[in-house]
């Protein structure tokens, strides 16, 4: 199997799905000749000149056009250049794409996958670093997917493109070229709604998604010399959420630290914490601890302070272990 970065894995998934299914089209700002701002669509225009489209800088138009394409039988994969730019298309997503199956009594679906880079890690400041996944997790009818490895990026993106409903596919910018791993060539899917244990442990569960999975793995390794055996659970999909995997891990260890880089208030970690409190509280030995971004705009100069790191996660581990 070839070793790929996440950028290469995303490109590979798009290329293979476009070869397999001529209904798959790619559209967005600079996705054609330029290959996208992070080069995830590089080379696709050469192979599929009739199915890769550069668009104006108008996110509501990009998503609105993709909804129309999906309703008429295509499987569009629109790219929003940064998640921070998705808000002009917010109404198209939450009021139209998410509602059409319900509004039509199941007669119509919107099989499209919106790809967008999200999160910090490139010192982009408050217009290029936001993590606003909770807005979309709140909307019935949308699926929300966040890979943390190149292999999962390919498998989850392939499953998203094949899904009959709209999927918001969030790509952690920090992980685009962070490392390489072996990625299966050809057919490779990862089912939506399936979490994965990245590290087995017995003392505390670290629950995260995207780049924060790597932060948790580092924190778990640093906790080990202190005699703390930490488990790391990668959610991979926020909607649908793998509740059984979350509850199994929480019941196994009795202690939970939830980690994400989005702001704390209204963040998806609150939903994870509530699920555990409602369905597994009798198994807990201490409070559920959240380690998150802050309730401030994402800063330029203090990105390393804003983003949760292994030190902050380790402090959360020690807090729940000492309860």
pTM: 0.96
Residue-wise pLDDT for 119-134, tens only, equals 998 888 888 999 999 9
| Mean pLDDT, the chain, whole residue set | 96
Give the E-state strand segments of 150-210 in sequence order: 167-172, 181-182, 196-199, 204-208
Q: How many residues does the chain have?
A: 323
Torsion sign, CA atoms 51, 57, 61, 66 = positive
In the block, tokens 């966040």 appear at: 146
Residue-wise pLDDT for 191-223, tens only, equals 999 999 999 999 999 999 999 999 999 999 999
The band of 40, judged by pLDDT with boundaries at 50, 70 and 90, is very high
Please report, for the chain, the start and end positions of each structural domain, with discontinuous segments joined by +.
3-182, 196-321
In the block, tokens 């939450």 appear at: 94
3-state secondary structure of 92: helix
The band of 12, judged by pLDDT with boundaries at 50, 70 and 90, is very high
- Mean pLDDT for 15-34 is 97
Using alpha carbons only, what angle is made at residue 23 by residues 22 and 27, rounded to the nearest 5 degrees? 105
Say if residues 90 and 168 touch (Cβ distance below 8 Å). no
Q: Could you tell me the strand order of the sheet in which 237-239 lies?
A: 52-54, 24-28, 75-79, 113-118, 167-172, 143-145, 237-239
**Which pLDDT score is estimated for 36?**
94
Which residues, 6+ apart, have CB-to-CB distance to 316 below 8 Å? 257, 259, 289, 290, 291
**Which pLDDT score is estimated for 35?**
94
How buried is 208 (Cβ within 10 angstroms: 0-12 exposed, 13-18 middle, 19+ buried)? buried
Residue-wise pLDDT for 52-73, tens only, equals 999 999 999 999 999 999 999 9
Query: Is residue 128 among the annotated active site residues?
Result: yes
**Which pLDDT score is estimated for 124?**
82
Instruction: Return the number of other C-beta atoms located less than 10 Å from residue 222's C-beta.
Output: 16
Query: Which of the following CATH numbers is that of domain 196-321: 3.30.930.10, 3.40.190.10, 3.40.50.920, 3.30.70.141?
Result: 3.40.50.920
Query: Which of the following CATH numbers is that of domain 3-182: 2.40.37.10, 3.40.630.30, 3.40.50.970, 3.30.565.10?
Result: 3.40.50.970
- Mean pLDDT for 232-239 is 98
**Which pLDDT score is estimated for 28?**
97
What share of the chain has pLDDT > 90, as a percent? 96
Say if residues 145 and 156 touch (Cβ distance below 8 Å). yes
**Which pLDDT score is estimated for 123?**
83
What share of the chain has pLDDT > 70, as a percent? 100
Task: Report d(CA 140, CA 38) in Å as an integer.
Answer: 30
**Which pLDDT score is estimated for 122?**
83
In the block, tokens 């499987």 appear at: 75
Point out the catalytic residue in the list 128, 138, 188, 260: 128
Instruction: Return the number of other C-beta atoms located less than 10 Å from residue 271's C-beta.
Output: 17
Residue-wise pLDDT for 125-181, tens only, equals 888 999 999 999 999 999 999 999 999 999 999 999 999 999 999 999 999 999 999
Domains 3-182 and 196-321 are alike in CATH topology? yes
Residue-wise pLDDT for 266-299, tens only, equals 999 999 999 999 999 999 999 999 999 999 999 9
- Mean pLDDT for 92-114 is 96
**Which pLDDT score is estimated for 125?**
83
Could you tell me the two tokens for 216? 């948790």
């Amino acid at each position: 199997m070839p070793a790929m970065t996440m950028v290469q894995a995303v490109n590979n998934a798009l290329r293979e799905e476009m070869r397999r299914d001529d209904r798959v089209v790619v559209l967005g700002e600079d996705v054609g000749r330029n290959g996208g701002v992070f080069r995830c669509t590089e080379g696709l225009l050469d192979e599929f000149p009739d199915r890769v489209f550069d668009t104006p800088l108008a996110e509501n138009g990009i998503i609105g056009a993709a909804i129309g394409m999906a309703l008429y039988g295509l499987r569009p994969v629109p790219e929003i250049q940064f998640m921070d730019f998705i808000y002009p298309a917010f109404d198209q997503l939450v009021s139209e794409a998410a509602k059409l199956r319900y509004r039509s009594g199941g007669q119509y679906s919107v099989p499209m996958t919106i790809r967008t880079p999200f999160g910090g890690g490139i010192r982009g400041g408050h217009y290029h670093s936001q993590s606003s996944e909770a807005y979309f997790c709140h909307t019935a009818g949308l699926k929300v997917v966040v890979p943390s490895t190149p292999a999962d990026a390919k498998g989850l993106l392939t499953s998203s493109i094949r899904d009959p409903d709209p999927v918001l596919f969030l790509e952690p910018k920090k992980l685009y070229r962070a490392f390489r791993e072996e990625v299966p060539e050809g057919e490779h899917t990862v089912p939506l709604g399936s979490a994965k244990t990245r590290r087995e442990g017995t003392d505390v569960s670290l629950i995260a998604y995207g780049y924060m999975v790597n932060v948790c793995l580092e924190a778990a390794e640093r906790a080990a010399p202190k005699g703390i055996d930490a488990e790391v659970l990668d959610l991979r999909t926020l909607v649908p959420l793998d509740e059984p995997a979350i509850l199994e891990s929480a019941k196994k260890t009795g202690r939970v630290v939830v980690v994400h880089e989005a702001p704390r208030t209204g963040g998806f970690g609150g939903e994870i914490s509530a699920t555990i409190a409602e369905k597994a509280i009798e198994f807990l030995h201490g409070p559920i601890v959240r380690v998150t971004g802050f309730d401030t705009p994402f800063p330029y100069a203090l990105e390393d302070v804003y983003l949760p790191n292994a030190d902050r996660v380790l402090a959360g581990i020690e807090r729940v272990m000492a309860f």
